[in-house]
Amino acid sequence: MTSSSPLLQVRDLEVVYASSSGRRQVRALAGIDLQVQTQECMGLVGESGCGKSTLAKCLLGLVPAQQGSIKLSLPAEFRTRFPDLEQLWQSRSGSKTDPGLELIGLSGKAWRAVRKAMGFVFQDPLASLDPRMRAWQIVTEPLAMHGLASGKALRKKADQLLDLVGLDTQVALRYPRQFSGGQRQRLGIARALALEPPLVICDEAVSALDVSVQAQILTLLRELQQSRGTSFVFISHDLSVVKQIAQRTAVMYLGRIVEEGPSQDLFEDPWHPYSRALLEAVPQPQVAGRERQWLVAGEAPSPANPPSGCSFHPRCPLAEDQCRRQFPPMIAATAPSRQAACFQLSSGEISQ
Amino acid sequence: MPLLQVRDLCLTLPTRNGPIAVVEGLSFDIDEQDSLALVGESGCGKSLTALAIMGLLPPAISISAGSIQFRGRELVGCSDRQWRRFRGGAMAMVFQEPIASLNPVLRIATQIEEVLALHGDGDRRWRKRQAVSLLEQVGLPDPAALARAYPHELSGGMCQRVLLAMALAGEPDLLIADEPTTALDVTVQAQILDLLIEIRRQRGLAFLWISHDLGVVSRLCDRVAVMYAGKLVEQQPVQTLFGNPRHPYTRGLMAASPSLEQQALPTGIPGRVPAPEDFTAGCRFRDRCSQAMELCFEDPPAFPLESEDAWVRCFLMDTSATSAGEALSNGEEAK
Ligand SMILES: Nc1ncnc2c1ncn2[C@@H]1O[C@H](COP(=O)(O)OP(=O)(O)O)[C@@H](O)[C@H]1O
Ligand SMILES: Nc1ncnc2c1ncn2[C@@H]1O[C@H](COP(=O)(O)OP(=O)(O)O)[C@@H](O)[C@H]1O
Ligand SMILES: [Mg+2]
Ligand SMILES: [Mg+2]
């Protein structure tokens, strides 16, 4: 599995929004590099405004990229189930040495074909479900939309999907408002899984739920990952959740990934001062002698007006002249494969 | 005399099928400078409890029984005017949605000055200065400029600090907080928790802190009360509760809580909190409890635990009962 190309390969991705007044530009993503392997859950953390949702939407073709590349390497078993996707694949995908379908620049029609391969679950379960549709219609919407099933077969599929996410098939005729928050989130997940996509993107999908339900949904995602080989991009502001569900984690700051690595290593021994600050901020019992030396003051600056050099320097206890002038390069290590963008890493100020 | 004493509090909602109790038989004390956390899943009645103490219950819900005493003074039955004298004064509250809690068309300073005026403190010039000073005390940068800003110009974290400044304006002895940091980034949350710890140290404030985040609770509070379906099921000092949770519901909550310390995925609690119209007699957790037994159809009394003022309402704690079989012997082992 490791030798094959990653399911998702993002290179130098840039997204610029025009501000509401149109006068200023907001560089929400300032060059993102990211890989997601088959059957891997990639966690994405960072303060609000750092561009997590923008990245999710860009991966789904819902916001246009200014620059960069998103390559999707779909397993043949999946492609061949959808004639339009297979056709797109044959006409557009790369060579033997560099396979994968470039998503940047695809037409709207092509994106619709590609989106079959990407399920998504957003934060607000009620807002993302049509209040006039019944539960069975909601979860089978992608199947109906792509004309993949109808009539009895569709109802049968609905029961399977409800069952998959742990909902009683008795609820098939209910409307969204008749469900609890956790149940609605399950409906959203069932819908995201309807086409059995190889990749599911979750943007704060469990954040609004009670821990009792959150834990059930995390368990469900883990089961899907193991039984179907599904890959996930899992966005959450809750670091503990990400540590437990994601095999790898990327830490974002102001439109960039500043650190990335196996969750185990990154959470136990974060390299980047910002990762350390995030981890130290996780509330824990006050223990005398537990020094908190990395905690940051203030809030993240706006991407409309980013600081010079390393965008973290105004809040960084290690910032030096160089950090104010230049953006630090990624310092990478192998075994375990991890990387962080900080001058202090190369200068030995932070141990690797 | 405790600062706040709640006894057998019952909150009722009228329905077509007669009144139903959404909160029932709630009793707890908060001493001066004490801090009590109220935890439990959503829908357990935590917010209503806080609102009842503040005299801010929604119109549909009323106090049908029990007593709420602040420094020995009975609040139940008070007129709204009398209650207002406590509210924003000796008792103050901050809410989860900081931006929604501020008036969008008034400058920050005006809103703080209004609270000060309500308590009849000082003249206008003093109030103006005091407003800026309060903003400074809650750690806001450039307080003079901020005082002239409108709420929409502020981030969520800044709004929460402003609300804290407003709560502190009346020099309260008790601060009631309903999930005040839930909507904030973890970095900003850490700053606000530090600020609260510092303010509490300086002013000797007491807290009633509502949160679903056990990490926050462990950082901030001395004691924890666990609420399930309108009733308290367990109360313990924070260390002993985390070290040795006794009620199966408390254990369930802890096993479900994600934590940086843990390697494995958290485990959920099957089922969900019943709606108030489905409340029954006996232990309300029994349908979700893996250790439920015949006895659980009766109301469990509060079994005292080792620490002072610590107890749990669960028959597994009943060492005198002999007929309960296997589940009971598990309970005895735990003890
Ligand atoms: N549609 C939009 N128009 C203009 N700016 C936007 C838009 N969506 C997001 N932004 C800005 O882009 C930045 C990144 O936002 P977002 O991706 O939502 O971050 P996150 O999900 O990490 O909180 C923020 O500064 C936000 O204000
Ligand atoms: N204004 C209201 N009218 C009717 N029922 C209400 C009202 N507010 C809350 N409830 C009900 O009371 C119960 C407890 O609510 P709440 O105190 O908000 O719970 P928590 O804060 O623990 O999540 C819930 O079942 C809720 O549906
Ligand atoms: Mg977002
Ligand atoms: Mg509440």
DSSP characters over B111-178: HHHHHHHHTT-S-HHHHHHHHHHHHHHTT-SSHHHHHTS-GGGS-HHHHHHHHHHHHHHT--SEEEEE
Q: Please count the residues of chain A.
A: 352
State how far the alpha carbon of B318 is from the alpha carbons of B304, B305, B321, B328, in Å.
10, 11, 6, 8
Ligand sitting nearest the alpha carbon of A252: 1
Ligand sitting nearest the alpha carbon of A123: 3
CA B132 to CA B109: how far, in whole Å?
7
- The tokens describing A251, both together, are 């830490």
Is the confidence at residue A291, as pLDDT, over 90? no
pLDDT in tens, B260-291: 988 899 999 998 899 999 999 999 999 999 99
Distance from CA of B200 to the nearest CA of A (A): 15
Confidence (pLDDT) at B186: 93
Q: Which has the closest alpha carbon to B306: B228, B261, B239, B209?
A: B239
Taking each helix axis as running N to C, give the angle between helix B108-118 and helix B156-169, from 0 to 180 degrees, rounded to the nearest 10. Answer: 20
Given pLDDT bands bounded at 50, 70 and 90, which one contains residue A19?
confident
Contact across the interface for B260 and A277, Cβ inside 8 Å: no
Q: Where are the domains of chain B?
A: 4-90+172-324
Confidence (pLDDT) at A1: 41
CB B202 within 8 A of CB B168: no
Confidence (pLDDT) at A97: 67
State which residue of chain B sits closest to A167, comparing Cα positions.
Answer: B271
Residue B76, helix vs strand vs coil: coil
Burial class (CB in 10 A: 0-12, 13-18, 19+), A112: middle
- The residues lining ligand 1, judged by C-beta closer than 6 Å to any ligand atom, are A 17, 19, 26, 28, 46, 48-54, 302-303
Domains, chain A: 8-253 (3.40.50.300), 269-347 (no CATH)
Please report, in angstroms and rounded to a whole number, the separation of the first and last CA atoms in chain A: 28
Q: Cα(B252) to centroid of ligand 4, in Å?
A: 19
Q: Does 3.40.50.300 match the CATH number of domain B4-90+172-324?
A: yes
Confidence (pLDDT) at A23: 74
- The residues lining ligand 2, judged by C-beta closer than 6 Å to any ligand atom, are B 13, 22, 40, 42-48, 58, 60-61, 275-276
Our mutation pick for probing the ligand 1 site, out of A15, A20, A26, A52, counting the most ligand atoms within 8 A of Cβ, is: A26
Among A254-258, B164-168, B196-200, the range with the most confident prediction by mean pLDDT is A254-258
CB A274 within 8 A of CB A316: yes
Distance from CA of A137 to the nearest CA of B (A): 24
CA A139 to CA A162: how far, in whole Å?
8
Distance from CA of B158 to the nearest CA of A (A): 9
Confidence (pLDDT) at B334: 40
Bridge-partner residues for A11, per DSSP?
Answer: A69
Contact across the interface for B265 and A298, Cβ inside 8 Å: no
User: Widest CA span of chain B, in angstroms?
Assistant: 72
What value does the mean pLDDT take over residues B146-159?
91
Tell me which residue has its CA closest to atom 12 in ligand 1: A28
Contact across the interface for A278 and B187, Cβ inside 8 Å: yes
Tell me which residue has its CA closest to atom 25 in ligand 1: A49
Confidence (pLDDT) at A123: 80
Local structure of residue A236 (DSSP, 8 states): -
Contact across the interface for A215 and B262, Cβ inside 8 Å: no
B317 or A346, higher pLDDT: B317
What are the percentages of helix, strand and coil residues in chain A, rounded to 5? 35, 20, 45
CB B228 within 8 A of CB B284: yes
Chain B neighbors of A222, CB-CB under 8 A: 265
CA A260 to CA A282: how far, in whole Å?
19
State how far the alpha carbon of A347 is from the alpha carbons of A315, A318, A350, B179, in Å.
19, 11, 8, 42
Is the confidence at residue A337, as pLDDT, over 50? yes
Given pLDDT bands bounded at 50, 70 and 90, which one contains residue A309?
very high
Confidence (pLDDT) at B187: 93
Our mutation pick for probing the ligand 2 site, out of B44, B47, B48, B233, counting the most ligand atoms within 8 A of Cβ, is: B48
pLDDT in tens, B210-252: 998 999 999 999 999 999 999 999 999 999 999 999 999 999 9
Local structure of residue B87 (DSSP, 8 states): B
